[in-house]
Chains A and B, each alone.
Chain A
Amino acid sequence: MSLRRTLLTTRRILEQLRHDPRTLALLLLVPTALMGLLAWSLTNRPGAFDSVGPKLLGVFPLIVMFLVTSVITLRERTVGTLERLFTLPLTKADFVAGYAIAFGALALVQSVLVSVLSYSWYGLAHQGVPWRISAVALCAGLLGTAFGLALSAVAHTEFQAVQFMPAFILPQLLLCGLVIPVSQLPSALRAVAKVLPMTAAVHAINPLQSNQYYVGQFAILLAYIFAALVAGASTIRRVTK
């Protein structure tokens, strides 16, 4: 692995996004707007936004980075740039880390943007330490990126990749603790929910809301990211059968 090649790859990915301002805008503004919409819709239920809002700060980056990564890496596979890179001195680790850093950075920008607006304009009550919530958001973005890399190996077209979105994301949204706390799920579902990556992100946010800070939850999240990145890298094959 080489830091130079990793950072070159990061820069290349960010340059690609820079030439696609619409995608970049959607990436940064949609979560911001959704959060505002949520705050507005909960105006008549005091305290509701304070309870759901911060959890979403962990959920948005996961979803958005998952989608963007799966489409952009799928394109690398179909256009043939990935095969070209495999004839060059670029390792899988350089490639995966390049993606992780690029989208991790975006996740960070996104979460700062969403939280600043949430705390100021949307009236989210100050809970915990904002930078800790941003750290979790960054991790959630990395998690999304890692799963996106893995998905791009399974999907053969961009159309399929988009179809995978509801299959991968929606069940997690239902079970991760946003709709109903995981502890109140039927026991079989609870077992499933506990191992879902999105649950790990929400669980890392939960203690922050009550101003607590569990290193354990954070460590679990990091372990998920590492495992998902390794899984994502293992789906990349240098040689075609």
Chain B
Amino acid sequence: MDSSDHSTFDVSNLRVVRSGHEILKSISFRAAPGELIGLLGPSGSGKSTLMRSLLGVQAITDGSARIMNCAAGSRSLRGKLGYMAQSAAVYLDLTVEENIRYFTGVLAQGPSEVARVMDVVALTPFADRLVASLSGGERARVSLGVALVGSPPVLILDEPTVGLDPILRRDLWHTFDDLAKSGATVIVSSHVMDEAARCARLLLLRDGALLFDGTPASLLAASKASGYDEAFERLIEGDR
């Protein structure tokens, strides 16, 4: 028995090729339950593709991605991975409550889960509003709420705090922290370095390759930068 039995993610030499382009190039990393991981990288570096590969909705060309000891996309993983896509993947022509109720039902959760989730994403006052009538940030919260239904052991959140104000962002990061503390593995992508520095561990992607994997402090040290934005710039542009 090797230690992979305990890891939530066990990704090794993962490659994804889409229409002839190599989008992800031999990515390897592991993650344990309770980790809060920030996935960083410039636009187009492959963050969303990596997340979708973990979820099993993106075909893997080479290598492997195992989640809780099952191959990505396995039937037994369905419902155990909470996913918030980069675009709000919710029904615009349903109310907030109807959206959450549908996904709660699909996940076979009780009705009290609807109220709990709406509370976590601070949408209770919007319960009866059509999603189409909500602002971008409010829609993003509906989408996040759906990802939280059933408190899944793994959360894969693609830029969950884009377009939100600082207070809401802070509250959401507290939520992610709490989820990780309660044992979930949470992976959050972001462009915003300062924000990502709240994670205990950072993964930095560039052009589909994993450039850095470590703590925010070691990122600062490795890049000899004074701030996170500078560290990001140096690592991305540094060894070109």
Contact = CB atoms under 8 A, between A and B. Distances in A.
Contact of B55 (A5, A79, A81, A87): A87
A16 B107 CA distance: 20
B85 A84 contact: yes
A50 interface: no
A239 B58 contact: yes
B78 A88 contact: yes
A89 B79 CA distance: 6
Interface residues of A, number: 25
Interface of A is mostly: helix
Interface of B is mostly: loop
A37 interface: no
A192 interface: no
Interface string B157-176: 00000000000000000000
Contacts of B106: 5, 8-9, 85, 88-90
A6 to B, nearest CB: 11
Interface in A1-33: 4-5, 8-9, 11-12, 15-16, 19-20
A84 B52 contact: no
A158 interface: no
Nearest to B146: A84
Contact of A88 (B73, B79, B87, B91): B79
Interface residues of B, number: 31
Interface of A: 4-5, 8-9, 11-12, 15-16, 19-20, 79-81, 83-90, 238-241
Q: Which 5 A-B pairs have the closest CB atoms?
A: A80-B89, A8-B105, A89-B78, A12-B102, A84-B89
Interface of B: 18, 52, 55-59, 73, 78-79, 81, 83, 85, 87-95, 98, 102-103, 105-108, 130, 146
Given A80-B88, A87-B78, A89-B107, 15 more contacts: A9-B106, A11-B102, A79-B87, A79-B89, A79-B90, A80-B89, A81-B91, A83-B52, A84-B89, A84-B103, A87-B57, A87-B79, A88-B79, A239-B56, A240-B52
